[in-house]
């Protein structure tokens, strides 16, 4: 089972009932626990913007998966397996929240991820249009998809790829250490809810990677 499959398993529908959280919330919960060591349920509720019942279910599922342990009155913390998963996830998905990209999307919020070796997944799912439509289906209003090939950035199109030169994207490459074959997936959302875009791109990538036919 790969890292994405674990996130999908924790957030899966059970008994015909969908939980009030998605793989994005699972990832954010693990990351929060990694940063804060011991975390109470109410702190997770504030961080994830979820209700008490949803967070309680999420913690229970993480515990069932062997990723966290809980104690009273201290709260929840990662197990060794949980810490290892977070380390691998940080190599697989790098979050880029709240980008200033007025030259690309005026009057909208932009959040994204660096998807390690994501170009190969883009090819597998059927190309940029399919990938973009999946991001919109997950809740974003639009998406910008950029790939790094031989040190340069390109925009995939239905008929090929076009080199792109934007200062803001070049800064992202330098800041986040984008490598050859990585995919930069930016969700674009109108309105004040910045989490909506980040959730859309994370859920898209987790679902694609978790159900990939690639040999793992």
Q: Please answer whether residues 161 and 154 qualify as being in contact, where contact means their C-beta atoms are separated by less than 8 angstroms.
A: yes
Count Cα neighbours of 3 within 13 Å in the Cβ-side half-sphere. 22
Q: How many residues does the chain have?
A: 216
Q: Are 134 and 204 in contact (CB under 8 A)?
A: yes
Cβ atoms within 10 Å of 104's Cβ, excluding its own: 16
Q: Best-predicted range by mean pLDDT among 76-80, 119-123, 191-195?
A: 76-80
Q: CA 129, 134, 136, 138: dihedral to nearest 10 degrees?
A: -170
- The residue among 37 and 66 whose pLDDT is bigger is 66
Q: How confident is the model at residue 173 (pLDDT cuts 50, 70, 90)?
A: confident
pLDDT in tens, 34-65: 998 788 889 999 999 999 999 999 999 999 99
CA distance 188 to 98: 10
pTM of the model: 0.90
- Structural domains of the chain sorted by starting position, each given as residue range(s) with its CATH number in brackets: 3-88 (1.10.10.10), 100-210 (3.30.1360)
């Amino acid at each position: 089972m790969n890292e994405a499959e674990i996130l999908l398993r924790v957030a899966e529908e059970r008994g015909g009932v969908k939980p009030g959280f998605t793989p994005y919330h699972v990832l954010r919960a693990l990351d929060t626990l990694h940063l804060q060591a011991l975390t109470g349920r109410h702190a997770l509720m504030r961080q994830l913007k979820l209700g008490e019942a949803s967070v309680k279910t999420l913690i229970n599922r993480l515990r069932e998966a062997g990723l966290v342990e809980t104690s009273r009155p201290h709260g929840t913390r990662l197990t060794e397996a949980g810490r290892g998963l977070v380390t691998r996830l940080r190599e697989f998905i790098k979050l880029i929240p709240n980008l200033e990209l007025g030259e690309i999307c005026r009057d909208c919020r932009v959040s994204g991820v660096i998807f390690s070796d994501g170009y190969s997944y883009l090819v597998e799912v059927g190309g940029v249009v399919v990938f973009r439509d999946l991001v919109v289906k997950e809740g974003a209003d639009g998406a910008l998809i950029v790939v790094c090939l031989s040190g340069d950035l390109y925009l995939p199109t239905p008929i090929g790829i076009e080199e792109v030169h934007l200062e803001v994207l070049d800064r992202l490459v330098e800041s986040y250490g984008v490598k050859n074959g990585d995919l930069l997936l930016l969700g674009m959302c109108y309105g004040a809810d910045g989490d909506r875009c980040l959730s859309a791109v994370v859920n898209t990538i987790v679902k694609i990677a978790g159900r990939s036919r690639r040999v793992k």
